[in-house]
A and B are shown apart, each in its own frame.
Chain A
Amino acid sequence: MATVHSAPTTQVQTPAVEKGFKLTPRRAQILWGYFFLIPWIIGFFLFLLGPMIASLYLSMTDYNIQRPGETHFIDTDNYEKIFSLQVIRSDEDEVDFKSGYTEAFRIASLHFGSRDHEVWKAIQVTLTFAVISLPVNLGLALFFALLTNTKVPGVRLFRTIYYLPSVIPAVVSATVFQQFLRGQDGWLNLYLLSPLGLGKPEWLQEPSLAVPALTIIGTWGIGTTMLMFLAGLQNVPTELYEASQVDGANYWSRFRNVTLPMISPVILYNLVIGLIGTFQYFVVAYILTPRGAGGNELSMYFYNLHLYREAYVFFDMGYASALAWILFIVVLIVTILVFRSSSRWVFYAGGK
């Protein structure tokens, strides 16, 4: 090692590019800088921008990897297929407006359907899950962070314990909870709910309990969110608490008026990361509904499962690309909306 590195010290100062134009030290530095960015730049074009453009093009074809010869450019038909949602039947009239369409969901007496039978069900499941599981996860993570931000002996151990499930592979936690949530002899029912007189709900069979069950499983992944909150809480200056204590504020008003505003940037960060993660929810639903079939009444059929099946089970990659782009656009819009709204509720201590 030593001999290898001692040799080049004589010919340093300027890199070997010294040819056509004058290489000032500043220019050399810039070149070096870009040189080190090369892995990312190559990766960006090779694995991001290139595939993105290709995917946009694919989304306008009916490309199927098993029949590449029969590919046609079909314009926006894939997107029209996704958005062909309309009322197909109304209970009051008892008339089929559109025969051949399968019902996706129902609002009051109106039945909706689209050309893609499952996509709207998948959207519904995904949105329901996001609405229920995100607040639960953020709330629980904040609660854990508040608990472990106290001066109780052994608090570090509890931080470790609460973080621990986050390092467990999602496949493993899905496998465990599959048994843990069983109706008759699952431990949750057997040792917690049943003794409390709450009966023995069939968490994984009953369609209306599918999202709550997945939310329970999801609480095993909040470790990182908790640590973020914890770091945020530890960055709140103690003077603020002391000042509010002098003003006679109780714990709740201290929490509302000091803690929450001070950690609001962290809440924003966790919200955005959580949203992105929720829209890409996959593993647990795939394991719990063998091979991603979606479970009873498709109650666990997530958007990403649908995308996976279209792409890698039916190899309908053109249509799957369209699904992926819709996902991207929705994530983008939601993220932008969250950031837009953040100026109203996120408080930056630095005054930015």
Chain B
Amino acid sequence: MERIRGFISNDNINQRNYMKREVYKVIGAGTLLMIMIGIASVYLSPLVYMGSTALKTEGQLSDPDDPIIPMTPQTYHYVSPDVETFRYTYRHPQVLDYQGQQLMVYEVIQQGKIYKYAFLETRDNVSVFIDSENPEATPIELGIAVEDLKPALVNERLEVNLYNVAYEDVQGQFGLVEELEGNRTLWMNPEEISEPPFELPIAVSDTELVRNEQDLILYKVAVDGETRELALLETGRRGARFIDPNNPDAEPLELDVRVRGLDKVWELDPHPENFTDAMDAIDYFKLFGNTLFIALVSGLGAMISATLVAYGFTRFNIPYANILFIILLSTIVLPPQVTQIPTYIVYNKLGWIGTFFPLIVPHFFSNAYNVFLLRQYMMGIPLDMDEAARVDGANPFQILWYVIVPAARPALVAVYLFHFLFSWNDFQQPLIYLGGGSENSVLAVGLANFTRIYSSQQNLMMAAGILTMLVPLAVFFFAQRIFMQGVVITGVEK
């Protein structure tokens, strides 16, 4: 109340300054928050890339307009009102329509000329013909048997409609040549135009006209001030022709727009099957099992040995403890490469190359980082508890098990998790000891091989990458606090 009154009356300078400071604080925090969000989004953008690429198909990735989220352009299934036709030259015997009769036309050669006469009837061994070019004239009588004549053929130019035909094992798009009597039809195959037409015992009503069908990509087009989703039919020299999906039977819209500048209508289309494909490609479960086994077992070794050594350093007041500890720490500076080659030769002699032993056994002999972390933590555990246990007659193992281990549990868990992650993420050691091949290896090496072999299939690569980092991420999220505290203990506190 006091403050508000002060603010309203504007006469209390202190109160005004207070308000000012509050406002600055909020603005400052807001700016800082924006900066942090901005940095975080840039910093983690490769992860976003990874996730989205893993869910796309290669087709989606090759689309130059490919958006960040896995999407495909929405299409409209367009059935044109026009019927599909086919230009066909139908070659068949000529028939003359004469006074309600269908007469076959024959080629008759007379005086070196070919006449096309339609055969009417046979009268007293004489054939009667009608001149097909002049049917009104009097019939011509000739002493030739019809059997000796060649039927006249005509080329009829047709534009046949295509139908989807399915009759027994005859299937396809055929052109309708003629409807015959008795529910029979004559068809031609557009793919084999030199073959004669064939007859099928079906009616036209049993088939379906072939329409011009296609999937048209939908675009967002501004028409008369409003944005409409239109399907692009074709691009012309100026503008383009669109179909309105809401009114497909109308004439296509001619619009004067540049198609390249238009936005497509996108539709969410993730492809999680990439993950199963990647799993099959790298023999995921086997490599996963190998990695998990190595990480779990060597982690156990690292934790147990570090606990024993740290316990030895902190609880027994042994002479030269400091010098020994400095020697232990200075081994951090020694590059592993120095010791790796002789140990490799020894492992080779032992027949351990290609087995998990080189990746597990050395961790049972403690390492400087872990001992350091545990020593720092154990030094913080009060001595009176183990004093009390000793008075009660506990031996050092019992003190370790019943006093130190429960008290140092967070640090032990941290050591185990650190080692687990180190082992899971390690690449160089498995590469050297298990070889570069994928079989019987660990996930990191498997992924590296996969990356090399499938370098053109980014989507599978990213899916495999996600599958490789799944466990470290899960461990991190579930044990975040232990983790971050562990880092800090090793690093700074004395």
A124 touches B (CB below 8 Å): no
A164 touches B (CB below 8 Å): yes
Interface string of A264-290 (1 = CB under 8 A from B): 011001000000100110110011001
Q: How far is the CA of A232 from the CA of B337 in the complex (A)?
A: 32
Establish whether residues A227 and B43, one from each chain, have CB atoms under 8 Å apart when the complex forms.
no
Establish whether residues B493 and A175, one from each chain, have CB atoms under 8 Å apart when the complex forms.
no
Q: Closest Cβ of chain B: how far from A32's Cβ, in Å?
A: 5
Establish whether residues B308 and A39, one from each chain, have CB atoms under 8 Å apart when the complex forms.
yes
Establish whether residues A324 and B309, one from each chain, have CB atoms under 8 Å apart when the complex forms.
no
Establish whether residues B44 and A172, one from each chain, have CB atoms under 8 Å apart when the complex forms.
no
B157-165, B225-233, B254-262, B317-325: which lies at the interface: B317-325
Interface string of A318-350 (1 = CB under 8 A from B): 001101110110011001000000000000000
* Residue from A34, A176, A291, A332 having most chain B Cβ neighbours under 10 A: A176
B84-92, B202-210, B461-469: which lies at the interface: B461-469
Establish whether residues A169 and B427, one from each chain, have CB atoms under 8 Å apart when the complex forms.
yes
B334 touches A (CB below 8 Å): yes
Interface string of B46-75 (1 = CB under 8 A from A): 110110010000000000000000000000
- Specify which chain A residues have a CB less than 8 angstroms from the CB of B339 in the assembled complex: 47-48, 51-52, 55
- Specify which chain B residues have a CB less than 8 angstroms from the CB of A39 in the assembled complex: 305, 308-309, 364-366
Within 8 A of A (CB), among B427-457: 427-428, 431-432, 436, 443-445, 447-448, 451-452
Q: How far is the CA of A177 from the CA of B50 in the complex (A)?
A: 9
Establish whether residues A178 and B451, one from each chain, have CB atoms under 8 Å apart when the complex forms.
yes
Interface string of B287-328 (1 = CB under 8 A from A): 000000000000000000100110111011111010010011
Interface string of B332-349 (1 = CB under 8 A from A): 111111111111110010
Contact of B334 among A50, A52, A154 (CB under 8 A): A52
Establish whether residues A152 and B319, one from each chain, have CB atoms under 8 Å apart when the complex forms.
no
Establish whether residues A158 and B473, one from each chain, have CB atoms under 8 Å apart when the complex forms.
no
Contact of A228 among B50, B342, B444, B487 (CB under 8 A): B487
Establish whether residues A43 and B366, one from each chain, have CB atoms under 8 Å apart when the complex forms.
yes
Establish whether residues A29 and B317, one from each chain, have CB atoms under 8 Å apart when the complex forms.
yes
- Specify which chain A residues have a CB less than 8 angstroms from the CB of B44 in the assembled complex: 161, 164-165
A164 in contact with B476 given A40-B365, A152-B32, A171-B447 (CB within 8 Å): yes
- Specify which chain B residues have a CB less than 8 angstroms from the CB of A219 in the assembled complex: 43
Contact of A46 among B317, B327, B365, B465 (CB under 8 A): B365
A167 touches B (CB below 8 Å): yes
Contact of B365 among A43, A177, A224, A265 (CB under 8 A): A43
For the residues of B in contact with A, the DSSP-based class is: helix
For the residues of A in contact with B, the DSSP-based class is: helix
- Specify which chain A residues have a CB less than 8 angstroms from the CB of B47 in the assembled complex: 165, 176
A12 in contact with B342 given A269-B491, A279-B335 (CB within 8 Å): no
Q: Closest Cβ of chain A: how far from B411's Cβ, in Å?
A: 15
- Counting chain B residues whose Cβ lies within 8 A of the other chain, the interface size class is 35 or more
Q: How far is the CA of A231 from the CA of B490 in the complex (A)?
A: 11
A312 in contact with B432 given A36-B308, A39-B366, A170-B427 (CB within 8 Å): yes
Q: How far is the CA of A180 from the CA of B321 in the complex (A)?
A: 50
Establish whether residues A311 and B341, one from each chain, have CB atoms under 8 Å apart when the complex forms.
yes
Number of A-B pairs, beta carbon distance below 8 Å: 276
Q: How far is the CA of A38 from the CA of B46 in the complex (A)?
A: 46
B4 touches A (CB below 8 Å): no
Establish whether residues A327 and B335, one from each chain, have CB atoms under 8 Å apart when the complex forms.
yes
Q: Closest Cβ of chain A: how far from B483's Cβ, in Å?
A: 8
Question: In chain B, what residue has the closest Cβ to A217?
Answer: B46
A19 touches B (CB below 8 Å): no
Contact of B316 among A32, A54, A155, A291 (CB under 8 A): A32
A36 in contact with B309 given A12-B394, A171-B448, A324-B335 (CB within 8 Å): yes
A176 in contact with B343 given A36-B316, A165-B43 (CB within 8 Å): no
Question: In chain B, what residue has the closest Cβ to A307?
Answer: B337
Establish whether residues A47 and B337, one from each chain, have CB atoms under 8 Å apart when the complex forms.
no
Within 8 A of B (CB), among A27-46: 29-30, 32-40, 42-44, 46
- Counting chain A residues whose Cβ lies within 8 A of the other chain, the interface size class is 35 or more
- Specify which chain B residues have a CB less than 8 angstroms from the CB of A43 in the assembled complex: 305, 362, 364-366
Establish whether residues A231 and B444, one from each chain, have CB atoms under 8 Å apart when the complex forms.
no
Contact of B341 among A13, A55, A227, A283 (CB under 8 A): A55
Q: How far is the CA of A46 from the CA of B331 in the complex (A)?
A: 14
B34-42, B115-123, B148-156, B234-242: which lies at the interface: B34-42
Contact of B468 among A40, A47, A171, A179 (CB under 8 A): A171
A55 in contact with B338 given A37-B313, A152-B32 (CB within 8 Å): yes
Interface string of B419-433 (1 = CB under 8 A from A): 001001101100110
Additional A-B contact list (18), CB under 8 Å, known A164-B473, A170-B425, A176-B49? A8-B398, A33-B312, A47-B362, A51-B339, A52-B338, A165-B47, A167-B421, A169-B427, A169-B469, A230-B488, A269-B491, A276-B333, A280-B337, A282-B427, A308-B428, A317-B345, A327-B338, A331-B333
A residues lining the B interface (CB < 8 Å): 5, 8-9, 12-13, 15, 29-30, 32-40, 42-44, 46-48, 50-52, 54-55, 58, 63, 65, 144, 147-148, 150-155, 158-165, 167-173, 175-180, 187, 191-192, 219-220, 224, 227-228, 230-232, 235, 265-266, 269, 276, 279-280, 282-283, 286-287, 290-291, 304, 307-308, 311-312, 317, 320-321, 323-325, 327-328, 331-332, 335
Can you list 7 A-B pairs with a CB-CB distance of less than 8 A? A38-B308, A43-B362, A47-B362, A154-B33, A164-B44, A171-B445, A308-B432
